Chains A and B, each alone.
Chain A
């Protein structure tokens, strides 16, 4: 292990080819910085991280260097606390303050501002600049991000994130000298689905969270707890913050293997349903024709009565925790428990689990995805089905230093600008086999847009080229055959090929073909990585739990339903009695016998199994108003309290269903104590504790108990850093901003200390399911094959309760190829009627060249669609809209 001498003392450090700044930060030294970002590396612009290096022990003068642009080397002598360089760092802050407005008292960033922290760190206190400051006009950037350019310190992080890292085009840097402007060409909604990260990337208050602004609380007054995003299957870790009974904002919670430093805008802003006016806050009971509020006892008595009558089925949910689903299963019995999905959809999940278990190579973590050197995506429009993965693939597509022979060229591996200059946007092979245009099209080496069966045929053709013993596709068209050759060559020669496949295309044939391709890649000796995309936050959890289909469950007299917002009223129309465990009053809830008010993710704890088979624990953030309880707790009440707390429930799950046994390790148990104390959800600076309820009683209320976790609803408790799954906020002395995460990592950019990766689905090398070659697609004269099209804003129903997301969601549509539009005699702006089974949908037509001939893309989530797509739909032209 190399050693470095800092301020006269020797330290061992990890890692080859790291810069001095990362090494110093990893060792716990406070070196201030702005433009460097652990995910975006160094560009040397801000000059804040200056340190001195000395050639040898006789060198007393030393030389000032930027630590971010200097490679750490064994035996290097460095001074951080040298007076000359310390003064230089203070002067850099003073320069930044030349134009910074010092409006901290009214700034949304105040209290978690990296600029504040760095100012204090350098010791700069008084400004000697006595002339005018420059001012800018701010821009209106849409519902999520507030713009306040006067505060800008020109670190260039925003454009580096937005453009270079996330592939956005509509945020730029304009102007020169001391009049540099970061914004859009004109006011307008930021187009990138990752725009919210600007809020965390910006070291000061230029880009702030507009949703938070509208329900602002001082950051140190927010109660926070480790949580997991429930708005897609990826399972990004998040830090929701609550105050006074409402959820105020969501921030990224760094998880090395899952989401790193960034989340998407659905995840950041889609939480507003927690505060919705449609929340059920007290048990509701049907009395005569209407629902009325009732006490818990009354409601539970009715539930017990109803459950005693006729046949009962419990409908679980891929959006509910494993614990909630298991509790329901325990209530109704395994044979009466439904996973909450129509048969066709559940079959897809089972196929995905089988695909994962057929893998032989460990599933890649996020950094491993980012290091893939050849990628094939089967059927997923990732920006809309797993956005965080899309962002990772943008990095995977980039050529990385070791392939560049960077050292020979003199390129330092952490010098982002030099790497970009050297690679000139050079990318790894990325192949898209999808049903329409995607955000990755521009970086794709080649793409195939076709209906799922055709995509499956392509994947099988590639598999056959890699492994001749795999079934051949004999009637493949010339173009597809040439593409298959190209893909096979690229994957065969890759060192770290990655295959991505999911359930979005709705095609078991495609998943089966992915299995063949994965095995063929294995046979060809490439150690292929697999990444699966599942639709919901606990899809994989219910896939492992199993159960009867929704169709079968719906035949029961009495239904007890978890999270009925995922179902349509038509799907459960046959039931006589319905009991809902819901957080929102739904259409189904409106006709239920009893609605028990269920906690959202922010008001409960539990475990979710993400697309990747990782079991992740989320913790209750705040205690809601009213009689809201965790779904599993309501069920426990019905059952007569079989589980004392979450740990007891987890223990039973592990005993009953060994597949979930590892799940107990996802976080320390409730009796875990740090330094003999619980871990506070509130910061030590939390204010108003004694005043907030003073109008009721001058006595301070006892904080609510939390029997389910080692976290406390309080500002009192352990002050040290807890193990990774329990970290409720990133804060360290002197580090009030999100940058404090540096102090929680094993080393900068690495895993959090004492982190766990708790997999309940593991690569087992089992035989991939057979994949018969589907017949070639034949378009029909009278109908289109209707395929699902997904939208980040629109296809997930809960997030649509966030006004900004609803505003950005597209109107429902049917997209079809212009040739098909002409054939069917429909034009832009006209309405068509699509008949799917017994449902007729009337939608405006969007002709799009990217839609496969003979197919139609239907925006899912925006219109209520009958069960699973793809399905043939008769299309009839209609009147102009």
Chain B
């Protein structure tokens, strides 16, 4: 991990110096021009998000910048690399973002399990504070900011930005309805922006090199680079920073080294556990927000979960849906009661207790747990892999019924 001297030596904090010479609106303008879209999964334009925060002397204060480092979705591990590998990059991004919204305080809300990352961040914050990058009157600009690292109590729902705010306030991590948006009623009721780690790590580079440069890094309309990852039966599971819009095939073949010997690609979740399956037919798809959306899935976090031909899709779904059912906060009915029902239906299929109508019931749940029906996006996200699996791997589900159990399991026994 580079210390502050090394980071600064490589051009670190130059972006901050540039930002502090600008007005908040100018900083926002640069980020808008760079077309930076949120890297937490939703892809909302970062500059636009900042733009909703009231600025100037009339704005309510204090204002907060909250970093969502509660990376906990199955298959996703990119923010950890950024925080452990180069904490100063995140810190610089935080300071610039806080300046852009005139926030006085920042919090890094970090996953419970990321102890090492939290430790490195704390050290880097201390270093940055000692060198005048944090604290009162940063680099003589008149702007002041402190950053606190808060370790989550360890629930997936805490990564939902409004549940995160409740958690940070010491309340039950149940999501809040929007509106009001955090930019007006956020942490402790004050104007707040919640940004993902990776999003903020892009910001120093935009400020240092300009929006044109940033957009130029991309192979698509979305600006910049992206941390892509791959897990499953690929030769080299990992994560790589690549131009936004790098095709799936290139990520999986050139970087992940293709499938392991003896395994065929059957499908993949392009952006974590809460995205719809894509199939080998989609391999030439550029991995950017619009293209993946066009193929019926979401770019999400860009971390790919690979399903091979020797893994039962139903058992993969059991594992995912169990996770989502367990991580439901219990606030709204469809999610709280629907997800465990889905899990039981899937288990029944897997255990040979499945019925033909169970498949219809699963399909019904994918509709009923859709956006707008539930309070937040957890259950709709949980339904994405299920609905696409029912579409692409229908035959596998039917076989679980007709063969009274999991065909893969029987193969193993044989």
Q: Decide: A178 and B325 in contact? CB cutoff 8 A.
A: yes
B341 to chain A, nearest CB (A): 6
B262 at the interface (CB under 8 A from A): no
CA distance A63 to B373 in the complex (A): 10
Task: Contact check, B332 vs A96: say whether CB atoms are below 8 A apart.
Answer: no
With A and B bound together, what is the CA distance between A179 and B327 in angstroms? 11
A98 touches B177 (CB 8 A): no
How far does the alpha carbon of A408 sit from the alpha carbon of B54 in the complex, in Å? 11
Q: Which of B172, B339, B364, B374 touches A173 (beta carbons < 8 Å)?
A: B172
- Specify which chain B residues have a CB less than 8 angstroms from the CB of A46 in the assembled complex: 332-333
User: Interface readout for B172-206 with A: 1 if CB under 8 Å, 0 if not?
Assistant: 10001101110011001100000000000000000
Stretch at the interface among A102-110, A410-418, A628-636: A410-418
User: Which residues in chain B, 361-389, are within 8 Å of chain A measured between CB atoms?
Assistant: 361, 364, 368, 372-375
Quick check: A415 and B337 within 8 Å, CB to CB? no
How far is it, in angstroms, between the C-alpha of A178 and the C-alpha of B342 when the chains are bound? 13
**Residue B69 is within 8 A (CB to CB) of chain A in the complex:** no
Q: How far is the CB of A295 from chain B (nearest CB, A)?
A: 64
**Pairwise interchain contact B372-A95, C-beta atoms closer than 8 A:** no
Q: Which residues on the A side are within 8 Å of B344 (C-beta)? A: 131
- Closest A residue to B345 by beta carbon equals A131
**Whole-angstrom distance from the CB of A3 to the nearest CB of chain B?**
25
Q: What 0/1 readout, one digit per residue, does chain A (261-275) give for beta carbons within 8 Å of chain B?
A: 000000000000000
Complexed CA–CA distance, A92 and B334 (Å): 7
* Stretch binding the partner chain, chosen from A386-394, A419-427, A796-804: A419-427
Chain B residues near A177 (CB, 8 Å)? 325-330, 336, 339-340
Q: Mark A176-192, 1 if CB is under 8 A from B, else 0.
A: 11111000000000000
Please tell me if the beta carbons of A179 and B372 are within 8 angstroms of each other in the complex: no
Contacts of A96 in B (CB 8 A): 333, 337
A95–B328 CB distance below 8 A: no
Tell me if B180 and A411 are in contact (CB < 8 A): yes
- Whether B176 pairs with A418 at a CB distance below 8 angstroms is yes
Residues A410 and B330 in contact, CB atoms below 8 Å apart: no
- A193 beta carbon closer than 8 Å to chain B: no
- Pick the residue among A176, A178, A409 that contacts B184 (CB under 8 A): A409
**Using a Cβ–Cβ cut-off of 8 Å, how many residues does chain B contribute to the interface with A?**
39
Interface membership of chain A positions 85-103, coded 1 if the CB is closer than 8 angstroms to chain B and 0 otherwise: 0001001100110110000
Which bucket holds chain A's interface residue count? 35 or more
Assess A409 versus B180: contact at CB under 8 Å? Given A47-B375, A91-B368, A178-B337.
Answer: yes
Chain A's nearest CB lies how many Å from the CB of B236?
Answer: 36
A175 to B188, CA, bound (A): 23
Residue on A nearest B375 in the bound complex, by CB: A44
Determine whether B331 belongs to the interface, using a CB cutoff of 8 Å to chain A.
yes
Chain A residue with Cβ nearest B348 = A131
Residue among A88, A96, A178, A417 with most chain B CB within 10 A: A178
> A45 contacts which chain B residues (CB < 8 A)?
331-333, 375
| Chain B residues whose C-beta falls within 8 Å of the C-beta of A47 in the assembled complex | 332-334, 373-375
Interface positions, chain B 151-188, Cβ under 8 Å from A, are 155, 157, 165-166, 172, 176-177, 179-181, 184-185, 188
User: Which residues on A sit within 8 Å (CB–CB) of B157?
Assistant: 176
- Cβ-neighbour of A98 out of B341, B364, B374 (below 8 A): B341
**Docked complex: B296-339 residues within 8 A CB-CB of A:** 325-334, 336-339
Are the CB atoms of A412 and B374 closer together than 8 Å? no
On chain B, the residues within 8 Å of A424 by CB distance are 188-189
For the complex, what is the distance from the CA of A128 to the CA of B379, rounded to whole Å?
20
Known: A96-B337, A128-B361, A422-B189. A176 touches B176 (CB 8 A): no
Contact A412 B336 (CB under 8 A): no
Q: Are A417 and B337 in contact (CB under 8 A)?
A: no
**Chain A contacts for B336, CB-based, 8 A:** 95, 154, 177-178, 180
- Least CB distance from A509 to B in Å reads 43
17 extra interface residue pairs, beta carbon distance < 8 Å, beyond A47-B374, A178-B339: A44-B332, A50-B373, A64-B373, A88-B368, A95-B336, A96-B337, A153-B333, A154-B333, A177-B327, A178-B328, A178-B336, A409-B184, A410-B185, A417-B177, A421-B185, A421-B189, A422-B189
**What are the 5 closest A-B residue pairs judged by CB atoms, nearest first?**
A410-B179, A95-B337, A410-B180, A180-B330, A424-B189
User: Can you identify 22 A-B contacts, CB atoms within 8 angstroms?
Assistant: A45-B333, A47-B334, A47-B373, A48-B333, A88-B368, A95-B336, A98-B340, A131-B344, A154-B336, A177-B330, A177-B336, A177-B340, A179-B330, A409-B184, A409-B185, A410-B179, A410-B181, A410-B184, A411-B185, A421-B166, A421-B189, A422-B180
